[in-house]
Amino acid sequence: MKLASSQGLIDKINQRKAVVGVIGLGYVGLPLVLEFCKAGFSVIGFDIDIKKVEMLHQAKSYIKHLDVSALQGATKFRATTDFSELIDVDCILICVPTPLNRNREPDLSYVFNTTLVIAKYLRQGQLISLESTTYPGTTDEDMLEILDKSGLHAGEDYFLAYSPEREDPNNHDFSTATIPKIVGGFTPKCLSVANALYSSIVKETVPVSSTKIAEAAKLLENIYRSVNIALVNELKMLFDKMGIDIWEVINAAKTKPFGFMPFYPGPGLGGHCIPIDPFYLTWKARQYDMTTKFIELAGEINVSMPYYVVHRLMEALNEKGKSLKGSKILILGLAYKKDIDDIRESPSLKLMEILMEKGADVSYNDPYIPKIPKMRMYNIEKSSVELTADTLSNADCVLISTDHTVYSPEFIAKHAPLIVDTRNVMKGINNRENIMKA
């Protein structure tokens, strides 16, 4: 059998004749679809969710910060649930979830099941690139084994790569096209093909020597943030006892022009990356008879934060002569960070679960999340309540979990009888008798 030509595929990419397939049309996959369409490629989006496919065909976005109007009438884009069309694709990008199970162990079923489907339709000359965050060895060990069972061989018949996503939803300073993109290939030919593809949509690529390096770099990025957030979370708990405002401490420290980078405390970690990625490496480390004590300690601190917030809330109620059981708690913000509609791993969900388990009457307001969808770990049937003076005044305690910019600190302070603030939203309010930081 004649070996696949890497230059042949590179030429197709450079001439915009390569068909790009994106599997998983969520927060990672959909921005890629938009960039490849903008660059002039023919793009096929694959997803098991028929609702997403139908909305994209109508050029309607199901992600608040992404404008898909460019897809209206697009002749070079279509979305489908029919994975047999993978055989017509030249470059396949995998953007599926890599969550943790209830034991906080990696769940790679989405990646491996997707790889099995790709293997079924794999043909010579294709590029397969994984974008999902995972542990080192997923691409060139686990996926390679599945794909090579097709009878084709990576680096010879098809090209295998790993290029981690670096999405930050609703970041106005950086976008998919302007964030430097790490690219690792199974072989030099694999790298050259993948680098050519990504270079067509991003301003800068960062080629590395292997897929393992690329996988490890992604983990390092998020472990770095996890560890530093855990540090300030731990300091917040200590400084609370000492009567010291952690937010003022951070603002003072960050005036140093070198050697310090500010990280901020909160009610816990949210989003798909920071709460999850460190545990992928700790799990993989056990195969090498090692324990990652530093990373695991940071994870324990961050996971404990919702419980700390509830403890502070109980203290606040106690000072008012009330118990948590039976109290009306209004949570402001369900998204894991401000001004987005993403609730993946949001600490607000954990807060809600703990409060309800303790007998509180819990409601929430989030202008971007009208109803809580059924999720892997949560099935909470609640809808967002309107944020009015009556809603605030009728609550025994208002818990600020997400600092959406639409929230007015003055309005909240005027009407809420008691406020527990986890995001320093109320910093500008002078009368702070009914405000507790947590």
* Residues known to be catalytic: 273
Which residues in 245-396 belong to E strands, given as ranges?
A: 328-332, 361-365
Give the whole-angstrom CA distance, residue 143 versus residue 132.
12
- H runs (alpha helix) in 47-152: 50-57, 109-121, 144-148
Q: Which two tokens stand for residue 127?
A: 């590029």
Burial of 191 (0-12, 13-18, 19+ CB in 10 A): buried
- Long-range contacts: 379-387, Cβ < 8 Å, 24+? 380/349, 380/352, 380/353, 380/356, 382/352, 384/334, 385/330, 387/332
CB 130 within 8 A of CB 139: yes
DSSP bridge partners of 45: 22, 79
CB 99 within 8 A of CB 276: yes
- H runs (alpha helix) in 39-137: 50-57, 109-121
Q: Which two tokens stand for residue 165?
A: 């996503």
The DSSP line for 286-343 is GGGT---HHHHHHHHHHHHHHHHHHHHHHHHHHHTT--STT-EEEEE--SSSTT----
CB 194 within 8 A of CB 94: no
